[in-house]
């Protein structure tokens, strides 16, 4: 089934229909109409999958995709138009251009934590760039995945865009095919499998992965505001966010005040009984619940720590001074658990942060602008914030992606269109003049060329 489906898409791509920008825009407008009219269905599906609050579903899922679609429709003609670049004198007279062409047949593998947004956002860019696409949504969010499949069938021909559902076996079969581009969002471990599968055919890939994202709070930070913004950034989607703060490094002088402020902000957000709050999501499945629960064993939970397996509930939790070799500090947490480690001097920051691979995000809370800038420049990471968390994701003018172990490539806004486009350079030479110096025979021309090159 999958090889036949892919062959049909490759055949459709060869017809050249997707090269027509007006055709792409027509389909994107149709997709936009579908998504706007079925927004409540999407919200309901997300709730049924893991009790995602309606506010979070709109803010982090549906609104982002709708805004992205509107931007793409508005800007597509400009993005797709050949870009004229300044020519070199060696080619005089000439006009030089960059042409954006689609790669062809692309595979998009989406994750479960933002199963709607992280499936549709890259798909929008792939279609805008003129590709055909097969989208593999997460099997862990069946309600959302089924709805995405239904919407795609309504808008696109199967030879243009198709949703293929299934588990690990399906992903494996998809990765065995020869794609023109692969876009994967998920764990580092699976990202390495995707890269390995792409290697034999030299298929280009974008890997949106993750890592242990540090959050630094120095001795000058506004603690009340820091706590408020960290509570939101950490516990939105029950901490199941790749750019959520993974652990806090706080100056020793501020730790007591920070704990008090965190307790206050968690109660303001989720009440004294977060389990009853309609604004707090659940862990995606039993496997992840058990993984997270093990991180709480033998830890000093200053806040939270309560769990309920029957409800896949883990309370917003703050852990005081875990050992660096403990379970909670080994890998990315991806849940509502926040370890806090105090430090006294900046050398300790460097020792801890550099003991991990390059993170997807890094956050600094400080009123010392010079210090904050120094920390941002000192460490390598995908993207981040000063005096806030996760909001860099919201700006389509900023590329979103990792570095090193946290990812390869970037997208958002025009960057998504560019990701799914091959940029080919073209030189258009004029016929009215043909300078003969480059042609053989070369006798007597070398000295002239050397002198000329010095001035170019």
Fold of 2-209+404-423: Aldehyde Dehydrogenase; Chain A, domain 1 (3.40.605)
- Tell me the whole-structure pTM to 2 decimals: 0.95
105-162 per-position pLDDT tens digit: 999 999 999 999 999 999 999 999 999 999 999 999 999 999 999 999 999 999 999 9
How many CA atoms does the CB half-sphere of 362 hold within 13 Å? 25
Percent of the chain with pLDDT over 90: 95
Check residue 455 and give its pLDDT. Answer: 76
Q: What is the pLDDT of residues 219-257, one digit of tens each?
A: 999 999 999 999 999 999 999 999 999 999 999 999 999
Q: 30-43 pLDDT, tens per residue? A: 999 999 999 999 99
Q: Quick one: average pLDDT of 334-359?
A: 97
- Is there a shared CATH topology between the 2-209+404-423 domain and the 214-394 domain? no
User: Which whole-number Å values give the CA distances from 420 to 91, 128, 378, 454, 456, in the listed order?
Assistant: 30, 9, 31, 38, 34
Nearest-angstrom CA–CA distance, 184 and 442: 52
Bond preceding residue 8 cis, omega within 30 of 0: no
Residue pair 124/416 in contact (Cβ under 8 Å)? The answer is: yes
Kindly state the average pLDDT of the residues 318-333.
97
Mean predicted lDDT score pLDDT of the chain: 97
CATH fold of 214-394: Aldehyde Dehydrogenase; Chain A, domain 2 (3.40.309)
The one catalytic residue among 56, 61, 208, 265? 208
Using a 10 angstrom Cβ sphere, with 0-12 exposed, 13-18 middle and 19 or more buried, the burial of residue 397 is: exposed
Is position 208 annotated as part of the catalytic site? yes
Give yes or no for residue 302 having a pLDDT over 90.
Answer: yes
Domain layout of the chain by residue ranges:
2-209+404-423, 214-394
Cα(220)–Cα(248) distance, integer angstroms = 15
Question: 437 vs 413, which has greater pLDDT?
Answer: 413
> For residue 422, what are the β-bridge partners?
101
Q: What is the pLDDT of residues 196-205, one digit of tens each?
A: 999 999 999 9
């Amino acid at each position: 089934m999958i090889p036949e489906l892919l062959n049909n898409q490759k055949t459709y791509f060869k017809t050249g229909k997707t090269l027509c920008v007006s055709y792409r825009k027509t389909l994107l407008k149709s997709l936009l109409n579908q998504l706007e009219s079925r927004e409540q269905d999407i919200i309901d599906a997300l709730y049924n999958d893991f009790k995602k609050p309606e506010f979070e579903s709109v803010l982090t899922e549906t609104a982002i995709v709708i805004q992205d679609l509107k931007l793409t429709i508005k800007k597509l003609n400009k993005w797709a138009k050949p870009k004229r670049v300044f020519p070199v004198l060696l080619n005089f007279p000439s006009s030089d251009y960059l042409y954006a062409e689609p790669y062809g047949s692309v595979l998009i593998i989406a994750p479960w934590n933002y199963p709607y947004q992280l499936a549709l956002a890259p798909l929008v860019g792939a279609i805008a760039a003129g590709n055909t696409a097969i989208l593999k949504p997460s099997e862990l969010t069946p309600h959302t995945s089924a709805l995405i499949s239904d919407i795609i069938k309504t808008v696109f021909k199967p030879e243009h865009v198709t949703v293929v559902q299934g588990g690990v076996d399906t992903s494996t079969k998809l990765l065995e095919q020869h794609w023109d581009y692969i876009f994967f969002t998920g764990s580092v471990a699976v990202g390495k499998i995707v890269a390995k599968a792409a290697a034999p055919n030299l298929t280009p890939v974008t890997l949106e992965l993750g890592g242990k994202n540090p959050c630094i709070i120095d001795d000058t930070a506004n603690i009340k505001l820091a706590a408020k913004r960290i509570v939101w950034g950490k516990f939105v989607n029950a901490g199941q966010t790749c750019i959520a703060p993974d652990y806090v490094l706080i100056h020793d002088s501020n730790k007591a005040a920070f704990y008090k402020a965190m307790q206050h902000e968690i109660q303001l957000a989720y009440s004294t009984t977060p389990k009853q709050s309609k604004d707090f999501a659940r862990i995606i499945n039993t496997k992840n619940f058990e993984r997270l629960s093990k991180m709480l064993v033998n830890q000093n939970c200053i806040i939270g720590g309560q769990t309920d397996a029957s409800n896949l509930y883990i309370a917003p939790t703050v852990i005081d001074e875990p050992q660096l070799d403990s379970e909670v500090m080994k890998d990315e947490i991806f849940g509502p658990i926040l370890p806090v480690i105090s430090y006294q001097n900046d050398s300790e920051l460097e020792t801890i942060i550099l003991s991990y691979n390059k993170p997807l995000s890094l956050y600094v809370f400080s009123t010392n602008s010079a210090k904050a800038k120094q920390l941002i420049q000192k460490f390598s990471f995908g993207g981040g914030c000063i005096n806030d968390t996760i909001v860099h994701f919201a700006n389509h003018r900023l590329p979103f992606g990792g570095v090193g172990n946290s990812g390869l490539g970037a997208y958002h806004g025009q960057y998504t269109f560019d990701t799914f486009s091959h940029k080919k350079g073209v030189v258009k030479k004029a016929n009215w003049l043909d300078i003969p110096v480059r042609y053989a025979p070369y006798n007597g021309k070398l000295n002239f060329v050397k002198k000329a090159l010095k001035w170019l």
